[in-house]
Amino acid sequence: MLSYRHSFHAGNFADLLKHIVLVEILDYLIQKEAGFEYIDTHAGAGLYSLSSVEAQKLQEYAGGIGKLDAEDFPELARYFEVVGSFNPSKELEFYPGSPMIANFFLRSQDRAWLHELHPRDYDLLRETMSESTITRVQRQDGFEGLNGLLPPTRRRGLVLIDPSYEIKSDYDRVVTNLVTGHKKFSQGIFALWYPVIDRRTIDKLQAKLIKSGIRNIQRFELGIYADDYARGMTSSGMIVINSPWTLFNKMSQVLPKLAQQIGEANNGHFKCDVMVPE
């Protein structure tokens, strides 16, 4: 049940999309002095060495961030600044997961809640975040933890939900938790990551969200191959509820360029649309 470890996939094309969206949202939140809360339901280890045995086994980062040159993507200057802060030698040696990306932005008035069930990754995450006084790391099912944290005391916040989906019931649980969480924290920003392995499964997930009654839902998707179940994950996406006004414009500019750059054999593709208007 707990076989998935993100260290094998850090920096891949799915991370690119997820973390570009994450950076844009966090950068927006810190524009106001008022504090906010960051909740990560499936945090992982926090920081990944790209020279590790795990990362080198698949070398998925080579098809993700390894394909990008910061000079070609001025729109992503903030993203590259964040990644660069963990690589002082200017060589790409480490890739930050969502907890460390969030930590880059968090201020003394903010708080973070990180959940991770895998015992080894939980220990690594605790060690990685040990110097943070505003972060709480919990070995707990992130879906269960989320329910107890909403609404946050600060009334501003971002919830990132990105399970591995190795448990098939996660496709239903993400929808249930989004709907329940939104009822408790309707003004909050919710960001849901999903993999496209079987397009029909994702179509069903998205149809449930459209019918949920939740407003202001945007979708951003990036793919390297056309849909093909035999290939495994060919695309991944982010569904964002209550998106910052800056996000859609940024993604509409950068997704076509990313699809062209990372697509395999000219098969790169993207989606950037409004699933449900405000």
pLDDT of residue 2: 60
Cβ neighbours around 102 below 10 Å, total: 28
pTM for the model: 0.96
Using CA atoms, how far residue 180 sits from 99, 115, 177, 217, 264, in Å, is: 23, 18, 5, 15, 38
Please give the domain boundaries of the chain with CATH numbers for all domains.
6-276 (3.40.50.150)
Give the DSSP per-residue string, 25-81: HHHHHTTSSS--EEEESS-TTSEEETTSHHHHHH-GGGGTGGG--GGG-GGGHHHHH
pLDDT for 101 beyond 80: yes
Percentage, residues of the chain above pLDDT 90: 92
pLDDT tens-digit readout, 55-81: 999 899 999 999 999 999 999 999 999
Q: Which of 123, 162, 227, 228 is catalytic?
A: 162
pLDDT tens-digit readout, 240-271: 999 999 999 999 999 999 999 999 988 999 99
**What CA–CA distance (Å, rounded) separates 20 from 270?**
14
Q: Please report the sign of the dihedral spanned by the C-alpha atoms of residue 141, residue 60, residue 70, residue 274.
A: negative
pLDDT tens-digit readout, 203-237: 999 999 999 999 999 999 999 999 988 889 999 99
Cβ neighbours around 228 below 10 Å, total: 12
Residue 69 is a catalytic residue: no
With contact defined as beta carbons under 8 Å apart, do 45 and 6 qualify?
yes
pLDDT of residue 223: 97
Helix (H, G, I), strand (E, B) or coil at 34: coil
pLDDT tens-digit readout, 31-42: 999 999 999 999
**What CA–CA distance (Å, rounded) separates 277 from 259?**
25
With contact defined as beta carbons under 8 Å apart, do 122 and 139 qualify?
yes
Residue partners of 249: CB distance under 8 A and separation at least 6? none
pLDDT tens-digit readout, 158-174: 999 999 999 899 999 99
